[in-house]
Structure 1
Amino acid sequence: MQPVALVDNSFQAGSDDCEAIALRNGCISPHFSFRTIGLRLRGIFGRGGTEVAVARATELKNRDKLSPSTIQRMVSYFARHEADKKGRNFGSEENPSAGYIAWLLWGGDEGRSWALELKQKIGNAPD
């Protein structure tokens, strides 16, 4: 993998013909509501996710620029918490598990796919 350099709000590999990689979650559907559902459920049930997860949901909702280290933390979160999907009440909005709420705050399945794809493109680029 070629070194990657920060170019405005994107990363671009060393050669002129490489595509720039946006670090905003604009690639995620505008109808991507997992983050707002997670925030709503956390407010109603008072559980699920840490303050970091709430901050991540807010960044995703606002389409803030995310650093490469934040993308890596997202990838790491999803890898560690994949097993939560097997837990009781994961997927329920009537009585959601804390793990389900946290998963949504981090971007849900769509956020996981987006972060994994972006991580492959940026590699270990510095912030």
Structure 2
Amino acid sequence: MDQLSRSTNIEIQYVPEHRAENVVSIIRQLGQVVKCPVNDGDISYCSRGAQSNPQSTRPRTNLVKFNTPRTRDSLLAATIQYNKNHPKEKLDTEALGLDDEKIAIFVMENLTKEIKNIHAAARHRGKELNL
């Protein structure tokens, strides 16, 4: 049930934080770069997540809730396609026009902690088996 409530959400990780940032404009810019336009009306809610470790220098994750799963799925698919089409220049801060150092940006489904753990275990097992 908890995962079902996240069916329209994505996480965007490693986007540098700025005091006067506009998360919606970052989402729109992401859509332009990956060729999947996102309008303000497509976004139900967006914000930075909480910092789990106050000593961490990692930027807080952007959480975006779209109005429909189709919008979320289209943006995820476009991001995957962008990274396949640009294997040496995958999605990063430079591609989004952010004025920070070049840092890889990851766009993914917003999964529950339990499902994230299962996914991590499957990736680890795949590496062990050279898959």
Scaled to the shorter chain, the TM-score interval is 0.3 to 0.5
Taking structure 2 as the reference length, the TM-score comes to 0.34
Taking structure 1 as the reference length, the TM-score comes to 0.35
Instruction: Name the structure where helix makes up a greater proportion of residues.
Output: 1
